[in-house]
Structure 1
Amino acid sequence: MKRKLITSFICVAILTACSNQDKKEGNTTVNKTIQLQADEVQLSAEQVKNAGIAIGKPESKGMHSAVNVNGVVDVPPENIFSVSIPMGGYINKMMLIPGMQVKKGAVLATAEDQEYIQLQQDYLTAKNKLKFSETDYNRQKALNQTKATSDKVFQVTESEFNHQKIQVKSLAEKLRFIGINPAMLTENNISKSIKIYAPISGYVTKVNVNTGKYVNPTDILFEVISPGALHVSLTVFEGDAANLKIGQQIVCSTTANPDKKYFAKIHLITPSIENDRTTSVHCDLENADRKLLPGTFLNASIALNHENVQAVPEEAIVKWENKFYVFADKGSNHYKMITVEPGVTMNGFTEVKTKITAENIVVKNAYAVLMKMKNGGEEGE
């Protein structure tokens, strides 16, 4: 604003000097200005050149209004993984700190306990018994077919065999649950420890244990988030929420680095208004990076009502006595002031809601023309 005022004063000085020179040389420009209408002005070619006045056409621009809101970087619940241990045990080894990047399947820690040994022992014992039960079942089945043994004896043998199959399958699933492959387990590789693996690729955000600590199945050991799943949670006031819709573009920036722009699209609008007359809007981030952490505060602008409108450069619009104007070019440095209603301003252009019928207008240093018009009017009175 200060630069515009300084530019305007310089232009006024140039035009005033030129006007005084015209008077001294008997130029007819002043007399011609006095004969014009109150909303018109005539400049000399030298005045136009010295003031840097430029002529152009109104343009059709894709523009939109915007709502400025605040929000935070968030992670959907389905992309936050809390890592726990299936069976209680002592943490034997762990080298994690918050912020570390891990890949899916990487070992986060190891735990040990006597229960792990007992479970493996039970499985191998049940598996061994199953072999005996299967052999006995096949033998009793053959004898029963020849009626060498009673149906009752065969039924007891069959029941024992089925029970043992269930026992082995149940114990096998328990082993898989704690990360031990039952197919690879033998009496030679029974282990007192189990490994805790990363469920996804991402970043460790919480570490709640340390080496030597006993943990229960209900304890949360680590928290891992998927970095590709970051989104933006915005707080929007009730009056603005009515103008939002799925798919609208969001431009965000952090307070730490306002020049870095992050882009997102509205994914979900919470269909309720809280007691503070706001609602939550969830947006998918399109260009998240490692510098953008969950919980980071964001300033955001939501684009509304995108459409093509008639627009002019910001410098083309002047304000006088609480009204806005542009100057139509009538030819031969003759300009006419036209009332307009400005709208949204974007990227150096301002929407003009009042349609401009003039083919050419002043698009640069329009304030210089305004000052010449008002100064010229006062001189002619």
Structure 2
Amino acid sequence: MKRIFIPVAALLLVSCNQTTQETIPVAEAAADTTAPVIEMQDTTGTANEVDAVTSATAMPNHSSFNGIMVVPPQRRATVTLTMGGTVHSTTLLPGDYVRKGSVLATLENPDFINLQQAYLDACAQAEYLQKEYERQERLSSQEAASQKRFQQSKADYLSMKSRLEAAAAQLTILGVAPEELQANGIRPYLEVKSPLNGYVTAMDLNLGKYINAGESICDVVDKGETLLCLTAYEKDLQNLEPGKRVQFRVNGMGAETFHAVLVSVGQEVDETNRSLEVYARVKESNSRFRPGMYVTARVEK
């Protein structure tokens, strides 16, 4: 039988090659799926995050709010009667434009006539008592009259003077100038006048209706200045400061965008829904604006 001899050096070489192949590290099958994020600075100086793979930019979101249009308290007046009466005449219609001082309605009330009469009587009596008081004062200084009579004339005059002033104050509240009453005589009807320029709303008035003192007959709204009353929440407070710009759209007016400025942030949070009111002054004037219209607004950061 023939024997085959293999050199020992060859066996050692093969064994060394196998060991070398087994110790070589295997490459990772897949790369890390998490893409690096690069921070960039936009033109406004705000840091934005950009995905290095997709190049998508994460822009900071603007705060959005819902609300309604309102007018300042100084631009809305409720016409309330200080003396009741029956409606005698009116030419008003809801939505009419009226000017300050124009007559909204006339009322009938006998008490109004009695008040005017009381004022005119007090005027005549006060004039007589004043002269009598001055005469008694001169006589008293010359010791030609008793002090008792002088004191009585003084008391009568001052009492009538106070009644005259009280009647004049009541007439002024009712819109009647006392000096005009002396010149023109008693008015049969009480005139209810508009306290400002604006449009008539919330009208509750018709001929023959009796309206008690303290009841309102209508509101007059001046749309010369419009505000946004927006609902915000606690989480939004850090972005709400007076002076910030607001963009808004009005329900029913399409995609048209208007502008406003934040002027006031509420100081009390509602306990139920944790909301508060924010007010912004509208820059544009538009005849289509109406108090109570729904708006969607965005406060710029």
Q: TM-score range by the shorter chain?
A: 0.7 to 0.9
Return closer, same or farther for 1:183/1:272 CA change in 2, 3 Å cut-off: closer
| Aligned amino acid, residue 239 of structure 2 | N
Offset of 1:187 from its aligned partner?
8.2
Match of 1:269 among 265, 268, 275: 265
Q: Within 2, Cα distance between the matches of 1:125 and 1:296?
A: 53
Q: How does 1:17-96 map to 2 (within 5 A)?
A: 60=43, 65-96=61-92
Corresponding residue SS for 1:140: helix
| Aligned amino acid, residue 163 of structure 2 | Q
The structure that has the greater radius of gyration is 2
1:180 corresponding residue in structure 2: 176
The TM-score with structure 1 as length reference comes to: 0.61
Instruction: Structure 1: state its 5+ residue gaps.
Output: 1-57, 305-381
Deviations 1:167-198 (CA, angstroms, capped at 9, x unpaired): 11111111112122211224862111121111
Deviations 1:71-102 (CA, angstroms, capped at 9, x unpaired): 11122334321111221111111121221111
1:301 to 2:294 alignment: no
Deviations 1:78-128 (CA, angstroms, capped at 9, x unpaired): 432111122111111112122111111111111121111111111111111
Deviations 1:136-157 (CA, angstroms, capped at 9, x unpaired): 1122122212222111111111
Number of aligned residue pairs: give it.
Answer: 247
Q: Within 1, Cα distance between the matches of 2:102 and 2:183?
A: 26
Q: Within 1, Cα distance between the matches of 2:226 and 2:141?
A: 67
Query: Is this contact kept in 1: 2:83–2:214, CA < 8 A?
Result: no
Deviations 1:206-240 (CA, angstroms, capped at 9, x unpaired): 11121111111110111112212320011123322
Q: How does 1:307-326 map to 2 (within 5 A)?
A: none
Query: Is this contact kept in 2: 1:133–1:160, CA < 8 A?
Result: yes
Q: Within 2, Cα distance between the matches of 1:194 and 1:229?
A: 32
Q: How does 1:188-337 map to 2 (within 5 A)?
A: 189-274=185-270, 275-304=272-301
Query: Is this contact kept in 1: 2:251–2:293, CA < 8 A?
Result: no
- Tell which deviates more after alignment, 162-171 or 183-192: 183-192
Query: Is this contact kept in 2: 1:65–1:303, CA < 8 A?
Result: no
Query: Is this contact kept in 2: 1:124–1:187, CA < 8 A?
Result: no
Q: Within 1, Cα distance between the matches of 2:187 and 2:203?
A: 25
Q: Within 2, Cα distance between the matches of 1:263 and 1:72?
A: 14
1:141 corresponding residue in structure 2: 137
Query: Is this contact kept in 1: 2:79–2:217, CA < 8 A?
Result: yes
1:101 corresponding residue in structure 2: 97
Judging by fraction of residues, say which structure has more strand.
Answer: 1
Query: Is this contact kept in 2: 1:71–1:233, CA < 8 A?
Result: yes
Q: Within 2, Cα distance between the matches of 1:277 and 1:172?
A: 51
Q: How does 1:2-13 map to 2 (within 5 A)?
A: none
| Aligned amino acid, residue 140 of structure 2 | N
Corresponding residue SS for 2:208: coil
1:353 corresponding residue in structure 2: none
The TM-score with structure 2 as length reference comes to: 0.76
Q: Within 2, Cα distance between the matches of 1:234 and 1:252?
A: 11
Return closer, same or farther for 1:75/1:157 CA change in 2, 3 Å cut-off: same
Query: Is this contact kept in 2: 1:90–1:212, CA < 8 A?
Result: yes
Return closer, same or farther for 1:156/1:252 CA change in 2, 3 Å cut-off: same
Q: Within 1, Cα distance between the matches of 2:286 and 2:45?
A: 29
- Tell which deviates more after alignment, 159-168 or 63-72: 63-72
Return closer, same or farther for 1:257/1:188 CA change in 2, 3 Å cut-off: closer
Q: Within 2, Cα distance between the matches of 1:188 and 1:229?
A: 39
1:367 corresponding residue in structure 2: none
Corresponding residue SS for 2:136: helix
Corresponding residue SS for 1:229: coil
Deviations 1:263-298 (CA, angstroms, capped at 9, x unpaired): 111111113433323322111111132211111111
Offset of 1:160 from its aligned partner?
0.7
